[in-house]
Amino acid sequence: VILQGSSCKSARADHQKYQIPINAMNMAIVTVEKRGFPSADSNPCPTEYLENNTVDDRVNDYLTVVADLHSRAAGWNQQVIWIGGSEGATVAALVAPKASETVATVLIAGGGGMTMANEIVLLTEKDLRSKGASDAEVQNATRELNAQIQEIFANPTSSKSWLGETNTYKWWAAILPKDSFSALKELKTPLYIVQGTKDTSVPVESADLLVKKLREL
Task: Tell me the pLDDT tens digit for each residue of 2-14.
Answer: 999 999 988 887 7
- Judge whether 157 and 170 are in contact, CB under 8 Å: yes
- Judge whether 64 and 71 are in contact, CB under 8 Å: no
Convert the pLDDT of each residue in 107-160 to its tens digit.
999 999 999 999 999 999 999 999 999 999 999 999 999 999 999 999 999 999
pLDDT average, residue stretch 178-199: 96
Q: How many residues does the chain have?
A: 217
Which distant-in-sequence residues (6+ apart) come within 8 Å of 94 by Cβ? 55, 59, 178, 180, 183
pLDDT average, residue stretch 92-106: 98
Give one DSSP letter per residue of 129-170, joined into a string: HHTT--HHHHHHHHHHHHHHHHHHHH---SS-BSSSTT-BHH
| pTM of the predicted structure, to 2 decimals | 0.94
Rounded Cα distance, 9 and 14, in Å: 9
Convert the pLDDT of each residue in 44-68 to its tens digit.
899 999 999 999 999 999 999 999 9
Task: Please provide the average confidence, as pLDDT, over all residues in the chain.
Answer: 95
Model confidence at 19, pLDDT cuts 50, 70, 90, reads confident
